[in-house]
Amino acid sequence: MTTLEHAAIDTFRGELGGPVFEPTDDGYNEARQIWNAMIDRKPALIARCLSADDVVAAVNFGREQSMLISVRGGGHNIAGNAVCDDGLMIDLSYMKDIDINVENQRAYVGPGCRLADFDAAAQAHGLATPLGINSTTGVAGLTLGGGFGWLSRKFGMTVDNLISVDMVTADGRQRHASATENADLFWGTRGGDGNFGIVTRFEFKLHPVGPELLSGLIVFPFDQARAVLTQFARFTENMPDELNVWLVMRQAPPLPFLPESVHGKRIVALAICYAGDPEEGEKLIAPLRSFGDAHGEHVGVQPYVDWQQAFDPLLADGARNYWKSHNFVKLTDDVIRVALEYGEKLASPHCEIFIASIGGQTGRVAEDAMAYSSRDANYVMNVHGRWDTSGEDDHCRQWARAFFEAAKPYASGGAYINFLSNDETDRVEFAYGAAYKRLVEIKQKYDPENLFRVNQNIRPY
């Protein structure tokens, strides 16, 4: 670095409420670590912001110094877009303020919050909004890519419940965006993956939920997977919005309700959540138990916040992850055949195939209401490659890619942006479909120089 650059860094440090880390500083290596261990990037600087004014200072510094900029919320993105090589990483992970307005059923959430933070604050009042299924996921990244989980069939996508945002755009201005103010920016932010600025506060609609719900797992032997998957496909076509059932194929973790002899064996599991009266839920899920001869089950009434953390041990930090994903309108016999073929040959003990049921309220929003436009998707299938060592990289990625290609002829249009890996930049336009042209126009208006490009990038040119 030149003397001028060092002076600029010193000036920047003086403007920021939080610390600025250089590669030789204590805390630098810890600050650059993210969830996916395959990502090992080294920024030139890491700016840990504590306020919206800090974000303004960081954006201005990065722009003026012509630096590549990445933005970290929860650091959970599969593509590793929270961190860049040789640029400026803007770290929002300490901006974790949450304000719950019980009377108006609104939540005001900082960009560093994780799902566990938001769930706990809202559930203290018996409220929630649809989020993901892993409590360590960042609220910001989840929301900006669309967001779905157990409550989505009843209450819609996460972005369907977003009321407004405060954000810093590429020119360093703080803007408020909603349906009535900077409406084009708000349209693009709801699914646009951070292409238009850095959100410093989210306003969400809340709904009465729980605080205890009927939820849990039913686990079947893998040799019954065809029957289970086929019945799952038909059952989920007609279930009420309050009920959500997902299917997972993987090796059995050491769950206490399973016989020890089952641990490590291939299984197919149904994950269940009913956002209504538990007695009614028990009646609705009774047919699931007849799908096969289960190894065991753990289904009952439990706190929603506990169910939101049930899968955390399978998604802990530190493993190597590579995902491929398709949307489906219907789980046809061909989709089932391909899923079973690759479920037979999981590439590692941690790999899994999960099929998430969405539909319901998510499909009742107009396709052009916002940037997230895959409203015909009733299912999202994630080919979740996960393993421990770099020596397994090629084998596990090849398995995920082969499955993805085999399932492609049966998939619907669009893709879920949050599940795109870092080698899928060619799928961005496909993922947005008809919304892409308008997204380019919004990008041209708010970020014409493509300052925010470490993402699933929408190019302004």
The residues, ordered by sequence, that sit 6+ positions from 174 with a Cβ below 8 Å of its Cβ are: 52, 56, 166, 167, 168, 200
Task: Enter the tokens of residue 312.
Answer: 């955390």
Q: What φ, ψ does residue 165 adopt, rounded to 5°?
A: -140, 150
Whether 394 and 278 share a structural domain = yes
Q: What's the rounded Cα separation, in Å, for the pair 330 and 196? A: 33
Whether 139 and 254 share a structural domain = no
- Note whether 107 and 207 are within 8 A (CB): no
Query: Is 385 among the domain residues?
Result: yes
Whether 131 and 200 share a structural domain = yes
Whether 49 and 102 share a structural domain = no
- How far is CA 88 from each of CA 17, 20, 23, 79, 84, rounded to the nearest angstrom? 16, 10, 12, 17, 7
Domain boundary residue among 91, 121, 145?
A: 91
- Note whether 129 and 155 are within 8 A (CB): yes
Whether 131 and 87 share a structural domain = no
**Structural domain boundaries, residue 23:** 3-91
Domain boundary residue among 75, 91, 107?
A: 91
Whether 205 and 221 share a structural domain = no
Whether 18 and 141 share a structural domain = no
Whether 111 and 161 share a structural domain = yes
Q: What's the rounded Cα separation, in Å, for the pair 150 and 37? A: 27
Whether 220 and 366 share a structural domain = yes
Query: Is 283 among the domain residues?
Result: yes
Whether 40 and 188 share a structural domain = no
Q: Give the pTM.
A: 0.94
Whether 145 and 39 share a structural domain = no
Query: Is 455 among the domain residues?
Result: no
Q: What's the rounded Cα separation, in Å, for the pair 387 and 438? A: 39
- How far is CA 330 from each of CA 14, 155, 250, 365, 401, rounded to the nearest angstrom? 56, 21, 22, 19, 21
Query: Is 353 among the domain residues?
Result: yes
Whether 128 and 275 share a structural domain = no
In the block, tokens 């890491």 appear at 46
CATH code (residue 241): 3.40.462.20
Instruction: Say how many domains are in the chain.
Output: 3
pLDDT, one tens digit for every residue, the chain (461 residues): 445 588 899 999 999 999 999 999 999 999 999 999 999 999 999 999 999 999 999 999 999 999 999 999 999 999 999 999 999 999 999 999 999 999 999 999 999 999 999 999 999 999 999 999 999 999 999 999 999 999 999 999 999 999 999 999 999 999 999 999 999 999 999 999 999 999 999 999 999 999 999 999 999 999 999 999 999 999 999 999 999 999 999 999 999 999 999 999 999 999 999 999 999 999 999 999 999 999 999 999 999 999 999 999 999 998 999 999 999 999 999 999 999 999 999 999 999 999 999 999 999 999 999 999 999 999 999 999 999 999 999 999 999 999 999 999 999 988 899 999 988 888 999 999 999 999 999 999 999 999 999 999 999 98
